[in-house]
């Protein structure tokens, strides 16, 4: 994400209030824009279809189906995402641009085959009591969404953040427009609009890729060659996505907290809506994360390693290390301060917000806990990002594996305890991993000079 840092530093050099506001707005839109567009797009489809779709339960079936498509596709393609990003970065560094497009096509092909196999298998064995048109659209949608994650991770690795946001805006405008145009056909119409809109979105992302890259071969599989693979990154991609979603799946399939929706798909109203609101609330924290970590930290990170390479004095090298440490701490503190303000705002308006969504205000504590959890997730992302800059892939693997295991274990415990404990499993898992990450990072920084000179000769 260093490209974002370059842009943010350029904006912040103006040293004006307007420049700072622009930097934060830019960071917020780039980091959370696609997420916010997708969340509100699905929400708008549901709200504007209430008067048209009969039975209205079809709207719930549509929203739940789409949620599962997104969750499972993220977990399935997780092993491909980070390892593919590293491959692209390495090839661009080597100036081997001819390998970029052909290997992108290979990864897309593999993702499409995997998602099609999983989708068809699920439809055959678990959705036999649903309409054929629904099953066909689910398989197509699952394959398309899986490929979108690959395209987005590719464009992110080559720093085309604005273009991603623009294409997502166009794509989700099509999703909303087509779903509303077809909602008179009920669940199938809503899902058809979603699928066609995402095909448009995928086509737009692919157009950006094919515009900027050429290759004499259409497809090549060097990305899967053992000498180019990074198993730790593949596991990190899988485990992080699993860790983020495992508590949701447990609430969806715990009988006391969920209800059947369509086929084997279940939903948990008492958990889904608060966590949905919580993720909308992370935009300020994500903006703070990008501005402070990607702008300040990267500048001192580059300064430290430039000093090492250029043979600077030990005092200067140590100063750069100290500035790097200070920038990380300042970034984490800023994320905490911003998200504390968000939590206070949620505590103040939570009751009328829940009433507007026809949810009992008794779930306000769960909403606050979920906002805490989402804020801790932003902190964890910031810390993992720093570890990636320091090339501590095994540390990241350990932390993401611990996160997934703790979230599953502690969420299971809270489900056994009852409603008063709901949400605390996710929050506790993140808190433990964040605190451990800070401790490991402190130790890492304390030995940075030694490891730089002695372990990377």
d(CA 140, CA 120): 9
Mean pLDDT is lowest, of 221-225, 265-269, 278-282, 404-408, for 278-282
Q: How high is the pLDDT of residue 304? A: 82
- 421 is written with which tokens? 């404990």
Query: Over 60: is that where the pLDDT of 31 sits?
Result: no
Report the DSSP beta bridge partners of residue 262: 265
Q: How high is the pLDDT of residue 1? A: 44
Mean pLDDT is lowest, of 14-28, 38-52, 98-112, 251-265, for 14-28
Q: Over the stretch 341-381, which tens digit does the pLDDT of each residue have?
A: 888 888 888 888 778 777 777 778 888 899 899 889 988 98
Place of tokens 């308006």: 349
- 105 is written with which tokens? 């096509």
Confidence of residue 457 (pLDDT cuts 50, 70, 90): very low
Confidence of residue 236 (pLDDT cuts 50, 70, 90): very high
d(CA 262, CA 126): 10
State the chain's maximal CA–CA distance in angstroms: 74
The 3-state DSSP class for residue 95 equals: coil
Q: How high is the pLDDT of residue 405? A: 97
Report the DSSP beta bridge partners of residue 259: 267
d(CA 369, CA 350): 12
Q: How far is CA 243 from CA 279, 367, 427, in A?
A: 15, 20, 12
Q: How high is the pLDDT of residue 109? A: 94
User: H helices within 290-363, ranges in order?
Assistant: 298-309, 314-356
Let me know: does 271 contact 359? Beta carbons within 8 Å: no
Confidence of residue 2 (pLDDT cuts 50, 70, 90): very low
Q: Between the CA atoms of 421, 425, 430 and 433, what dihedral angle is there, to the nearest 10 degrees?
A: 120
Question: Which residues fall within 8 angstroms of residue 194, CB to CB, at 6 or more apart?
Answer: 45, 62, 66, 141, 175, 178, 179
Mean pLDDT throughout 374-401?
A: 90
Q: Over the stretch 110-125, which tens digit does the pLDDT of each residue have?
A: 999 999 999 999 998 8
Report the DSSP beta bridge partners of residue 267: 259
d(CA 8, CA 26): 8
Confidence of residue 294 (pLDDT cuts 50, 70, 90): low
Closest CA to 422 of 366, 357, 362: 366
Closest CA to 399 of 436, 365, 431: 436
Residue 330: phi, psi to the nearest 5? -65, -40
In 61-121, the DSSP E strands lie at none
């Amino acid at each position: 994400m260093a490209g974002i840092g370059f842009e943010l530093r350029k904006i912040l050099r103006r040293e004006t209030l307007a420049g700072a506001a622009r930097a934060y707005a830019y960071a917020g839109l780039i980091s959370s824009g696609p997420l916010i567009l997708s969340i509100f797009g699905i929400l708008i489809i549901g709200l504007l279809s209430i008067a048209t779709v009969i039975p209205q339960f079809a709207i719930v079936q549509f929203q739940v189906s789409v949620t599962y498509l997104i969750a499972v596709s993220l977990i399935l393609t997780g092993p491909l995402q980070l390892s593919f990003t590293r491959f692209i970065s390495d090839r661009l560094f080597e100036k081997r641009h001819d390998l970029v497009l052909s290997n992108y096509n290979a990864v897309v092909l593999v993702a499409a085959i995997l998602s099609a196999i999983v989708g068809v298998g699920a439809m055959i064995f678990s959705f036999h009591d649903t309409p054929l048109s629904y099953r066909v659209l689910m398989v197509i949608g699952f394959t398309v969404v899986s490929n979108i994650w690959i395209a987005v991770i590719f464009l992110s690795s080559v720093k085309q953040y604005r273009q991603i946001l623009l294409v997502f805006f166009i794509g989700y405008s099509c999703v909303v427009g087509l779903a509303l145009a077809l909602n008179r056909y009920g669940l199938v119409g809503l899902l058809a609009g979603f699928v066609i809109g995402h095909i448009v979105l995928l086509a737009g992302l692919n157009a950006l890729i094919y515009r900027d890259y050429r290759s004499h071969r259409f497809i090549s599989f060097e990305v899967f060659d053992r000498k180019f693979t990074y198993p730790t990154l593949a596991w990190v991609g899988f485990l992080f996505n699993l860790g983020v979603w495992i508590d949701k799946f447990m609430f969806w399939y715990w009988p006391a907290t969920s209800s059947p929706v369509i086929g084997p798909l279940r939903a948990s109203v008492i958990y889904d809506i608060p966590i949905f609101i919580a993720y909308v609330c992370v935009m300020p924290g994500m903006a703070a994360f990008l501005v402070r970590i990607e702008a300040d930290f990267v500048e001192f990170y580059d300064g430290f390693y430039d000093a090492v390479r250029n043979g600077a004095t030990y005092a200067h090298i140590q100063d750069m290390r100290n500035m790097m440490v200070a920038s990380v701490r300042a970034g984490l503190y800023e994320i905490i301060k911003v998200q504390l303000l968000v939590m206070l705002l949620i505590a103040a308006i939570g009751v009328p917000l829940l009433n507007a969504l026809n949810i009992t205000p008794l779930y306000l504590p769960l909403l606050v806990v979920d906002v805490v959890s989402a804020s801790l997730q932003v902190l964890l992302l910031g810390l993992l990002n720093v570890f990636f800059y320091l090339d501590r892939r095994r540390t990241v693997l350990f932390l993401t594996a611990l996160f997934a295991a703790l979230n599953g274990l502690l969420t299971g415990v809270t489900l056994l305890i009852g409603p008063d404990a709901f949400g605390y499993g996710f929050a506790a898992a993140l808190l433990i991993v964040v605190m451990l990450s800070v401790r490991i990072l402190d130790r890492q920084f304390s030995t940075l000079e030694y490891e730089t000179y002695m372990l990377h000769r």
